[in-house]
Amino acid sequence: MTTPAKPTAAARADVPNDLEAFWLPFTPNRAFKKRPRLIARAKDMHYYTPEGREILDATAGLWCCNAGHSRKPIVEAIQRQAAELDFSPTFGFAHPPAFQLASRIADLAPADLDHVFFCNSGSEACDSALKIALAYHNVRGQGSRTRLVGRERAYHGVGFGGISVGGIVNNRKFFGSLLSGVDHLPATYNREHQAFTKGEPEWGGHLADALEGIVGLHDASTIAAVIVEPMAGSTGVLPAPKGYLERLRAICDKHGILLIFDEVITGFGRLGHAFAAERYGVVPDMITFAKGVTSGTVPMGGVVVRKGVYDAFMKGPEHAIELFHGYTYSGHPLACAAGLAALDVYRDEKLFERAKALEPRWCDAIMTLKGLPNVLDIRCVGLTGAIDLAPIAGSPGLRGWNATGHAFHEEGIMLRLAGDTIELTPPLVVSEAQIDEIMEKTAAAIRAAA
Ligand SMILES: Cc1ncc(COP(=O)(O)O)c(C=O)c1O
């Protein structure tokens, strides 16, 4: 590779809005830089471009900003915390907001999920949960339980653990052999049986029984954990079919396998409850969370674990570290302050209840898009929905890219894209009039991409 002369740092910094240096994640960089979709500020339900154009946020950022944007109580809590305590380690030391936030999250979690391990993202949360599962069996003398089971079409972030149990081909195929000893359950989506379903599909609960097949193949004594999203968000809003999660729980119980719910998206109100586990009445052994915990304001993730899991580690000499895992920024003071303030807003404004109450209205509204050109299926659950568009022959993803570009530049709305699927996941403060506006603008974008 030849090395062309590089402009000096001073020359580069002198160019206002030079788009070159930033390599955007999960983005077609060249297409983006030809026609950038730039955001300069945000308030409540809206983003604003650098020129001041208003953009309706139909995505809660990236399924994060459940309380809406730049909310005063959260902003002020972060400012106060930065002035009070900028950073303190949580290895061997700790600070009050970390304990307070852990207690608040444990209170929101179901049953005896009452201990919280902090990290900084959903990816770290998933890898942490998988490591806790492996270590849990180890400390109980069942070190042969090393297999992990994920699911096709799952997204568990981008760490090596997460992509190994995840089920998105492009997130896996470029990155080598991944973790060994991973199996996958089949995806729960089937258009033939489920198209245009509101909420949880009737068909598909039996797909959980594939876990018995995996147990039969490898023996339960080799399997540590199963990880699933109660609603698979990143591959296009795939709610668990009726009875599916209950069946998974029963099979895990039968064989001593830990069940992990990845609630990075579904946590903090998205499905009308603090956690989707509550909606489905199923108690997992661990719940991963991120995003909504701080309403997207400061990076934070974590794992809530059941008492029995935590207690299994609390053996041996008291001066000895029980779990050799953690991040410099686990329980960062700014994230904890943001989390506490976000939870206050959720509670005071009853936003989880609001999401639940709006769900029928939301689902009716999104289903009005049925019949538009190229719409193959529409799904919705909680305050979340997805519209599958027919791909342009030979150019998968292009119709979706065009639709979301038209939406941003011409309609003034931010839509999330997964392949040719448009995902709608507004902040939980969305008004009924804004629900209608979202559907009108989305319809216009779908028509423009026909
Ligand atoms: C279910 C799930 N798990 C994990 C992640 C990864 O989170 P992050 O991007 O914060 O690492 C995501 C992100 O969308 C997610 O939806």
Q: Parse the chain into domains and list their residue ranges.
A: 9-67+350-448, 74-348
The burial of 62, by beta-carbon neighbours within 10 Å (0-12 exposed, 13-18 middle, 19 or more buried), is given as middle
Instruction: State the DSSP H helix or E strand holding residue 389, giving kind and residue range, or none if neither.
Output: strand 384-389
CA of 296 to the centre of ligand 1 (A): 12
CA distances from 177 to 163, 172, 174, 180, 183 (A): 11, 9, 9, 7, 13
CA distances from 203 to 197, 207, 248 (A): 10, 9, 15
CA of 373 to the centre of ligand 1 (A): 31
CA of 1 to the centre of ligand 1 (A): 35
Residues with CB under 6 A from ligand 1: 121-123, 126, 155-157, 229, 233-234, 262, 264-265, 290
Which two structure tokens, joined as six digits, stand for 225? 């954990």
Out of 126, 271, 293, 298, mutate this one to test ligand 1's pocket (max ligand atoms within 8 Å of CB): namely 126
pLDDT of residue 255: 98
CA of 126 to the centre of ligand 1 (A): 8
Instruction: State the DSSP H helix or E strand holding residue 225, giving kind and residue range, or none if neither.
Output: strand 223-228
Which residues share a beta bridge with 56?
46, 413
pLDDT of residue 8: 58
- Indicate whether this model's pTM tops 0.95: yes
Q: List the chain residues with pLDDT less than 70.
A: 1-17
Q: For domain 74-348, is the CATH number 3.40.640.10?
A: yes
pLDDT of residue 333: 98
The burial of 25, by beta-carbon neighbours within 10 Å (0-12 exposed, 13-18 middle, 19 or more buried), is given as exposed
pLDDT of residue 129: 99
Q: Which CATH class is domain 9-67+350-448?
A: alpha beta
pLDDT of residue 16: 56
Which two structure tokens, joined as six digits, stand for 250? 């029963």
pLDDT of residue 242: 98
Which ligand 1 atom is the nearest neighbour of the CA of 121?
10
Which two structure tokens, joined as six digits, stand for 10? 């001073």
pLDDT of residue 11: 53
DSSP category for residue 205: G
Out of 165, 234, 266, mutate this one to test ligand 1's pocket (max ligand atoms within 8 Å of CB): namely 234
Contact 223, 259 (CB under 8 A): no
Picking from 286, 352, 281, the residue whose alpha carbon sits closest to that of residue 313 is 286
pLDDT of residue 17: 67
DSSP category for residue 273: S
Which ligand 1 atom is the nearest neighbour of the CA of 263?
1
